[in-house]
Structure 1
Amino acid sequence: MEFPEDYLWMVIVGFIIAFILSFGIGANDVANSFGTSVGSRVLTLRQACILGTIFEMLGAILIGYRVSDTIRKGIIDVEMYNNGSEKVLTVGNIATLTGSCVWLISATIMRLPVSTTHSIVGAAIGFSLVARGTAGIKWIKIGFIVGSWFFSPILSGAVSVLTFMCVNKIVLQKDKALESGLKLLPIFYGLTAAINLFSIFYEGSTLLHFDKIPLYGVFIITFGISIIVAIGVRYLLVPWYRKKISDDCRERIRKFEEEGKIDDDNATELEQFNVTEDVPEIEDNSEETRVKTRENITDKPEVAKLFSFLQILTAVFGAFAHGGNDVSNSIGPLIAIWLIAKEGTALQTAATPIWILVYGGVGMVIGLWVWGRRVIKTVGDDLTKITPSSGFCIELGSALTVLVASNIGLPVSTTHCKIGSVVFVGRVRSKANVDWALFRNIIIAWVVTLPISGAISALAMFGLQKLI
Structure 2
Amino acid sequence: MADQDPNYHWKTLDRDLGRISRLEAATLYTSKPMVGMGVGLVFLIIAGLGAAFLFNGGSSSFVVIAAAIFGAYMAMNIGANDVANNMGPAVGANALTMGGAIVIAALCESAGALLAGGDVVSTISKGIIDPHSVEETRVFIWAMMAALVSSALWVNLATWVGAPVSTTHSVVGGVMGAGIAAAGFAAVNWPTMGTIALSWIISPLLGGAIAAGFLAFIKWAIIYRDDKIEAARRWVPVLMGIMAGVFATYLAMKGLQKLIKVDLLTSVIVGFAIGGLVYVVSAPYVRRKSEGLENRNKSLKVLFALPLVLSAALLSFAHGANDVANAVGPLAAIVHAEEFGEFAGKVNIPLWVMIIGAFGISFGLILFGPKLIRMVGSQITKLNPMRAYCVALSAAITVIVASWLGLPVSSTHIAVGGVFGVGFFREWHAERRARNSSKKRPPAKRIAPEERRRRKLVRRSHFMTIVAAWVITVPAAASMSAVIFFVLNAMFI
| From 211, 224, 234, the counterpart of 2:283 | 234
After superposition, give the CA deviation of every residue in 1:27-48 in whole Å (9 maximum; x if it has no partner). 1112200111111111100111
Could you say what secondary structure the match of 2:83 adopts?
Answer: helix
| From 419, 429, 442, the counterpart of 2:466 | 442
Hey, what's the Cα distance between the residues in 2 that align with 1:216 and 1:426?
Answer: 34
After superposition, give the CA deviation of every residue in 1:405-460 in whole Å (9 maximum; x if it has no partner). 57998652222112211111101111610111221111122222222222221121
Aligned residue type for 1:130: A
Spell out the pairing of 1:358-369 with structure 2 (5 A cutoff): 358-369=355-366
| From 84, 87, 110, the counterpart of 1:57 | 110
After superposition, give the CA deviation of every residue in 1:47-70 in whole Å (9 maximum; x if it has no partner). 111111122223334554299426
Hey, what's the Cα distance between the residues in 1 that align with 2:405 and 2:245?
Answer: 17
Task: Report the TM-score, using the length of structure 2 for normalisation.
Answer: 0.77
Hey, what's the Cα distance between the residues in 1 that align with 2:177 and 2:216?
Answer: 43
Spell out the pairing of 1:89-104 with structure 2 (5 A cutoff): 89-104=140-155
2:95 paired with 1:42: yes
2:410 paired with 1:413: yes
Q: Which moved more, 1:165-174 or 1:403-412?
A: 403-412
- Report if the CA contact (8 A) 2:208-2:414 is conserved: yes
- Report if the CA contact (8 A) 1:62-1:200 is conserved: no
Hey, what's the Cα distance between the residues in 2 that align with 1:216 and 1:398?
Answer: 20
Could you say what secondary structure the match of 2:207 adopts?
Answer: helix
After superposition, give the CA deviation of every residue in 1:198-252 in whole Å (9 maximum; x if it has no partner). 33334864653x12x67776566544443332222223x2233123xx2xx4xxx
Residues 168 and 198 from structure 1, CA distance in 2 versus in 1: closer, same or farther, beyond 3 angstroms? same
Could you say what secondary structure the match of 1:16 adopts?
Answer: helix
Q: Structure 2: 5+ residue runs without aligned partners?
A: 1-54, 429-455
Partner of 1:191: 242
- Report if the CA contact (8 A) 1:327-1:361 is conserved: yes
Residues 77 and 71 from structure 1, CA distance in 2 versus in 1: closer, same or farther, beyond 3 angstroms? closer
2:354 paired with 1:330: no
Residues 393 and 218 from structure 1, CA distance in 2 versus in 1: closer, same or farther, beyond 3 angstroms? closer
- Report if the CA contact (8 A) 2:174-2:480 is conserved: yes
Residues 384 and 62 from structure 1, CA distance in 2 versus in 1: closer, same or farther, beyond 3 angstroms? same
Hey, what's the Cα distance between the residues in 2 that align with 1:358 and 1:408?
Answer: 32
Aligned residue type for 1:464: L
Partner of 1:260: none
- Report if the CA contact (8 A) 1:10-1:91 is conserved: no
| From 56, 72, 82, the counterpart of 1:2 | 56
2:390 paired with 1:393: yes
Hey, what's the Cα distance between the residues in 2 that align with 1:305 and 1:99?
Answer: 44
- Report if the CA contact (8 A) 1:66-1:409 is conserved: no
Could you say what secondary structure the match of 1:186 adopts?
Answer: helix
Percent identity reads 33
Could you say what secondary structure the match of 1:65 adopts?
Answer: coil
Residues 413 and 35 from structure 1, CA distance in 2 versus in 1: closer, same or farther, beyond 3 angstroms? same
Give the drift of 1:320.
2.7
Residues 151 and 26 from structure 1, CA distance in 2 versus in 1: closer, same or farther, beyond 3 angstroms? same
Spell out the pairing of 1:71-82 with structure 2 (5 A cutoff): 71-72=124-125, 74-81=127-134
Give the drift of 1:404.
5.5
Q: Which moved more, 1:181-190 or 1:197-206?
A: 197-206
2:8 paired with 1:11: no
| From 302, 307, 315, the counterpart of 2:304 | 307
Residues 214 and 445 from structure 1, CA distance in 2 versus in 1: closer, same or farther, beyond 3 angstroms? closer
Q: Which has the larger radius of gyration?
A: 2
2:218 paired with 1:167: yes
After superposition, give the CA deviation of every residue in 1:89-135 in whole Å (9 maximum; x if it has no partner). 11111100110111111121122212212211111111112111102
2:152 paired with 1:124: no
Spell out the pairing of 1:226-265 with structure 2 (5 A cutoff): 226-235=275-284, 237-243=285-291, 246=292, 249=293
Partner of 1:378: 375
Could you say what secondary structure the match of 1:174 adopts?
Answer: coil
Give the drift of 1:149.
2.0
2:433 paired with 1:433: no
Hey, what's the Cα distance between the residues in 2 that align with 1:409 and 1:361?
Answer: 27
Residues 204 and 309 from structure 1, CA distance in 2 versus in 1: closer, same or farther, beyond 3 angstroms? closer
Count of residues in correspondence between the two structures = 411
- Report if the CA contact (8 A) 1:67-1:325 is conserved: no
- Report if the CA contact (8 A) 2:121-2:347 is conserved: no
Give the drift of 1:359.
2.6
After superposition, give the CA deviation of every residue in 1:358-377 in whole Å (9 maximum; x if it has no partner). 43122111111111111112
| From 309, 312, 316, the counterpart of 2:313 | 316
- Report if the CA contact (8 A) 1:108-1:375 is conserved: yes
Residues 412 and 71 from structure 1, CA distance in 2 versus in 1: closer, same or farther, beyond 3 angstroms? farther
Could you say what secondary structure the match of 1:41 adopts?
Answer: coil
After superposition, give the CA deviation of every residue in 1:244-297 in whole Å (9 maximum; x if it has no partner). xx2xx4xxxxxxxxxxxxxxxxxxxx34xx3xxxxxxxxxxxxxxxxxxxxxxx
Residues 62 and 164 from structure 1, CA distance in 2 versus in 1: closer, same or farther, beyond 3 angstroms? farther
Aligned residue type for 1:400: I
Hey, what's the Cα distance between the residues in 1 that align with 2:83 and 2:263?
Answer: 33
Hey, what's the Cα distance between the residues in 1 that align with 2:176 and 2:345?
Answer: 19
- Report if the CA contact (8 A) 1:325-1:403 is conserved: no
Hey, what's the Cα distance between the residues in 2 that align with 1:215 and 1:40?
Answer: 33
- Report if the CA contact (8 A) 2:195-2:408 is conserved: no
Hey, what's the Cα distance between the residues in 2 that align with 1:122 and 1:380?
Answer: 27
Residues 423 and 350 from structure 1, CA distance in 2 versus in 1: closer, same or farther, beyond 3 angstroms? closer
- Report if the CA contact (8 A) 1:86-1:346 is conserved: yes
Task: Report the TM-score, using the length of structure 1 for normalisation.
Answer: 0.81
After superposition, give the CA deviation of every residue in 1:370-418 in whole Å (9 maximum; x if it has no partner). 1111111211111111111111111210233235657998652222112
Could you say what secondary structure the match of 1:135 adopts?
Answer: helix
Partner of 1:464: 488
Spell out the pairing of 1:78-227 with structure 2 (5 A cutoff): 78-81=131-134, 83=135, 85-202=136-253, 205=256, 207-208=258-259, 210-211=260-261, 221-227=270-276
Aligned residue type for 1:201: A
